Structure 1
Amino acid sequence: MQKGVAILHSESVLLAQEFLTSILIMFLIGTIGGKLASKFNIPDVVIFLLIGILLGSNALDLIDIHTDSTINQVILLFGAAFIIFHGGMITHFSILKQVWKTITLLSSLGVLITAFIVAIAASLIFQIDFKVALLLGAILASTDPAALVPIFQKFPIRRKVSQTVIAESAFTDATGAILTVVVFGIIQSGASVNGLTISWQFIQLALGGIVVGAAIGWFAAFLISENDRGLLREFTPMVVVLTVLAVYLLCEKLHFSGFMGVFVAGLMVGNAKSLKLTVLPEQEHAAHQFIDAVGLKLRMLIFILLGSQVDFAILKHYGWSSLLVVVIFMFIARPITVLASLLPDRKAKWKREEIVFFFWARETGVIAAALMGIVVSSGLPDGKLLSAVTFLAILVTLIVQASSTPYVARKLNIRESDDL
């Protein structure tokens, strides 16, 4: 009998129970926080982040899931992939047709502009190798649909603006991740920074993700559509999960961009009617209801984890220098990126107040944290420095920008209810 008890309390079982306890705490406190966020009209991701800081080692020490742990990476990668898929689903082809040039520029030229401005600032401020600084810029170049999607669902703004921002965030997450992979590979191999090499690898990863995502996304839409066989209509939520996992894992296996793939797959499923596939309202409702429910749980886990992992000792060590890089990132890199991407798109007819809103709609979170987790776990010598700047950027952009996005939209009169 004692042997049986010992088996039940083996190290792996105890670790599993410890993890489940952390999940219980995060869901319990997170649910209360979500309710408070709803009551006071505050974006829930900001509350979740603050809850994480409270529950982490800096305060109550109730959560101890390390950045480089497998379970942390599983939550971040699946959560990011699922949320990017959702961003694709709620993006309409009709809007993309109007602003495709803007989105293309933001997610290609814009990512490079942001990355290089941050790299120049970081290399000068911290006196580090330019390739390492460029890695930091690449990590910070992506925006965060995990923060933006729920904000725009709760505080509707002009459809063209909101869907462009969401599409941008999904595409820049993919292209930012691609640039990070390319620059990290250059650092690991010791090669020099070559514009042609970066461009070619960038295109290869992006196009591969687009092809895989489009193929599997179309097939998923077919499976839940009103076709002759109606294969998996009654299992729509399961098809969503399988699609996210299959696209992400196959893309990564083939050395393509998994994040680009899941976004394109979401586009295909969300725009099934444009693909001559009829998805019944029942299946469409089931898919969105499931994604909303799971998305909330994933946001809760992701941002509470991010908050719990903030190392204030490292932040204190790099202090004002890190904050200076973040300020340059927010108030110099982003406006230049937006102007360089929106002004050439004459067809979109962007108004001044919409351009100003793009300056501010620039939260950083899930993808940056996931990429930083990969970098930290690799043992990069400057990993702690990059980690400090990244976490500070996440904290500042979420607390300052995400929380004030509804207020800024109201002041600029670009809410859906405002006169155009």
Structure 2
Amino acid sequence: MHSHSVDIAVNFLRSMLIFLLTGTVGGKVAEKIRIPDVVLYILIGILLSPSCLGIIEMKADSPSYQVILLFGASFILFHGGMITHLDILKQVWRTIILLSTVGMIVTALVVSIAAVWVFHIPFLPALLLGAILASTDPAALVPIFNKFPVRHKVSQTVITESAFTDATGAIMTTVVFSLLMIGGGSIEWGSIGLQFVRLAIGGILVGSVIGWIAAFLISENDRGLLREFTPMVIVITVLAAYLVAERIHASGFMSVFVAGIMIGNAAWFKLTILPKQEHAAHDFIEALALKLRMLIFILLGSQVDFKVLQEYGLQSLLIVLIFMFVARPLTVLLCLLPDRKAKWQKNEVLFMFWTRETGVIAAALVGIVASSGLSEGKLMSAIVFVAILSTLLLQASTTPAVAKNLRLLEEEHSTTVKN
């Protein structure tokens, strides 16, 4: 006979087997029919949920669920940092800073005002929803730009913006969520600003130190003692960056993102990571990121409350349409036009209107919020679920066609220059 703890462990392993098996099949099907894999992951989660077949039930407040969300979000943010190129940042750093700060706040405010208007909820929970949706999705964008050669300046800006807004959006979510949990009746904007800065700066400092140490240990030098253990160093770095930052009450999400930047741009800091270690790091990260993305979206789908979705589905879609067609264009205009040195062209601006996918980080954040017992948690889950499906189906799947029509594919650009 098994003890209760062994039964829990066996059930968890069984769930993992089913998640990974069905997710792998779903990913293959998505590749065949050419739709974003996360859409099928969500549908698989719904199918496996207690509301449908009842094969899997992992409660949102369980430790297993929270571990998957926290580590998954941290690792994906780290990956976003690693693929952020400082050479590109030098050219468009003003745009990136504006998009990940002013733009993130504009998006959150537009969504929160819309949520108050549509659902008649208090402003602070609405602002929490806006902060969650302010995070974009590098996990959905990177595979698209790997397959389709969108103009390098544009693709790198979109990816870098996505990675930065994931971190800043997560910080804003943390700040607003903490205010809600302590029962803040009125909003003190000065307090929110100070807490945001403290979380961000603390996360940047911790991530910089831990990321540099990790890069040093796997680099080509006499003390690069852990070159042969590069994948393990990556995991340790993600865990250490998140946990140390949280320990000193800084942003763990910002910390792992900055640690990723340090390792991904080691040459900037006079460290040389050999091609063998670099390939090992990227292969490991891409493989693990796929599994974590799979788990997060299947888990998100398994938590969908059909009663809430049926009750608020159409209203949620209205919020998402405002998010896509009001908040995003307004954000892009406010953040790109002031950056004269970047010399943004009209077709590049229009393309960035359309590249605004919502995905892994928003799913992870809303999962954490929903598991807290917040009264608006299920409503937020329904809205985020609709946002993820809508943006991935409407935007991610049409991004290559939009880039082609706007003449932003590199082959077309090269041909135009030659002619």
> Do they superpose with TM above 0.5?
yes
Q: TM-score, normalised by structure 2?
A: 0.94
- Equivalent position amino acid for 1:90 in 2: I
1:249 to 218, 243, 247: 243
> What's the TM-score once normalised by structure 1's chain length?
0.94
User: What is the one-letter code of the residue matched to 1:149?
Assistant: V
Matched, 1:224 2:205: no
- Unpaired runs of 5+ residues, structure 1, are 1-5
- Match in the other structure for 2:102: 109
SS in 2 for 1:419: helix
Higher mean displacement: 55-64 or 275-284: 55-64
User: Partners in 2 of 1:210 and 1:190 — Cα distance?
Assistant: 27
Change (3 A) 1:59 1:400: farther
Alignment of 1:67 onto 2:60: yes
Of the three residues 30, 35, 52, the one matched with 1:37 is: 30
Tell me, yes or no, if structure 1 residue 97 matches structure 2 residue 97.
no
Change in Cα spacing, 1:181 to 1:230, as seen in structure 2 (3 Å) is: closer
Inter-CA distance 299–400: structure 2 relative to 1 (3 Å threshold): same
CA distance in 1, matches of 2:33, 2:381: 32
Aligned residue pair count: 413
Is the contact between residue 313 and residue 386 of structure 2 (CA under 8 Å) also seen in structure 1?
Answer: no
CA–CA separation in structure 2 for the residues paired with 1:154 and 1:25: 29
Q: Which sits farther off after the overlay, 143-152 or 265-274?
A: 143-152
Residue in 2 aligned with 1:3?
none
Match of 1:322 in 2: 316
Shift of 1:146: 2.1
Amino acid across the alignment from 1:245: L
Whether contact under 8 Å (2:300, 2:367) holds in the other structure is no
> Residue 52 of structure 1 corresponds to which residue in structure 2?
45
Match of 1:163 in 2: 156
Give distance in 1, aligned partners of 2:33 and 2:273: 37
- Percent same amino acid among aligned pairs? 66
- Distance in 2 (CA, whole Å) between partners of 1:397 and 1:67 is 24
**Residues 46 and 373 of structure 1: CA distance in aligned 2, closer, same or farther (over 3 Å):** closer
**Off by >4 Å, runs of 4+ in structure 1:** none
The equivalent residue for 1:362 is 356
Given that residues 138 and 179 in structure 1 are in contact (C-alpha distance below 8 angstroms), is that contact kept between their aligned partners in structure 2? yes
Do the aligned partners of 2:35 and 2:393 also contact (CA within 8 Å) in 1? no
How far apart are 1:403 and its partner, in Å? 2.3
Cα gap change, 1:398 to 1:296, in 2 (>3 Å): same
Contact 1:68 1:373 in 2 (8 A): no
Pairing 1:72-91 to 2, within 5 Å after superposition: 72-91=65-84
State the Cα distance separating 1:191 from its structure 2 match.
Answer: 4.4
CA distance in 1, matches of 2:151, 2:183: 46
Check conservation: 2:245, 2:252, Cα contact below 8 A: yes
Match of 1:396, as an amino acid? Answer: S
State whether structure 2 residue 5 is matched by structure 1 residue 12. yes
How many Å separate the matches in 1 of 2:159 and 2:142?
Answer: 7
Note the C-alpha offset of 1:177.
1.3
Name which of 391, 394, 397 aligns with 1:400.
394
For the pair 1:305 / 2:296, whether they are aligned, the reply is no
Q: CA deviation at 1:129?
A: 1.2
Structure 2: state its 5+ residue gaps. Answer: 415-419
Q: Does 1:21 align with 2:14?
A: yes
Equivalent residues in 2 for 1:143-162, closer than 5 Å: 143-162=136-155
1:284-336 superposed Cα distances (whole Å, 9 cap, x missing partner): 11111111111111122122222222222111112322221111111111110
Supply the distance in 1 between the matched residues of 2:61 and 2:156 (Cα, whole angstroms). Answer: 33
Partner SS, residue 62 of structure 1: coil
After TM superposition, give the deviation of residue 138 of structure 1 in Å: 1.1
